[in-house]
Structure 1
């Protein structure tokens, strides 16, 4: 073996590089690659073992991931507007939450690849986290140990104390037990009211399905807090970085 061969930097498969970058597991990376979500030097690559060495430009969903050997962690919060889909791309051409990050820069550089931490459906709004740290994200979305999520919900009814208690007791719907950890009447008008509902687990459209089981329709749903992190006065459609204390608080 000559010296030029010995000096050649190591090459790794594309899926392994994405995994070591901390974006996802190797099996998840392989699925992304097979789905055409990953490009190398501007060209879509569908081979999970495609060899990668230094200097190659890798992007997921069109967003560069930076140097695979250097992990620059990003933790952001967004005030998600109503009408945006929480996904990187939509097969029906609908606007996604990534629209809010168009041209976004951090320390003078493009943010790069980030993923939503949990979800909000198209009709919902409010606090949505983003990060490129999958381990941190997994702790937040863990149904057993993750932080509570708090929502302010406008409904087309004025629930009494008995109905609020039944929301805590829960109901069986579509083979799942749906319930709230807490439910409080915030204010009421003649026909509509606002509730504060706290969930300690996340199921698909959980609040809407829970209330529908009691004949109540949701008019507006806003997530206002995740654990001790509150949405505050962050303008709709705007984002900011989390402080070190906020990151630790949610971990």
Structure 2
């Protein structure tokens, strides 16, 4: 059965998060995802709060940009969250938007090389190994976590080489709303049996299609009665989880969360 979830976009202010997240838990939503977009909100801080506010819903972060985050620090955060909230956090990693990475002074010449080095080191550290590595970007000298945790690693990307790398090294692959059915099908060919999570822009209620059309983006979107049909099509194409993504001007986030939960 396809997992359904909702993403709380960083275009909404942090003070809106608690109500939406609590609503997701109360409604029985399976997954609620957060983003770390420059320069809106961080990912780890609201995820930790979300986990503390709830008891059942799984909380995801997609994606944390690896150029911005030292892998030793990232692993400490992942392991800490996993030990505090076992099995409920889904933390995903990716290249980060290259323009934003440049603005932050963190852009690298080979994002693919960095992601491979990063995910490999992350896995070894979470497994409790003492890691020494002198890679092109990742450099560690006898680093070992005092409190390791067997957390799953998620990763996401757009290009085929990066998607394939995510399928090779991660426990789950995240692809964005622009993918659509064909994009999910292509990703499935690239990642084999690795689970795929895909976002889909969605809107319900009065003016739903207008909100989808008004948001100028190349990301795929559906409204109203077309939503469950598209979820089925994405599942048939190979998606294991479909995450509804509101428009930036969604007037009723809690209502859309309840609707998402009702589709189970």
TM-score bin (small chain): under 0.3
TM norm structure 2: 0.25
TM norm structure 1: 0.26
- In terms of fraction of residues, the more strand-rich structure is 1
Q: Which has the higher contact order (CA 8 A, sep 6+)?
A: 2
Structure having the higher Rg: 1
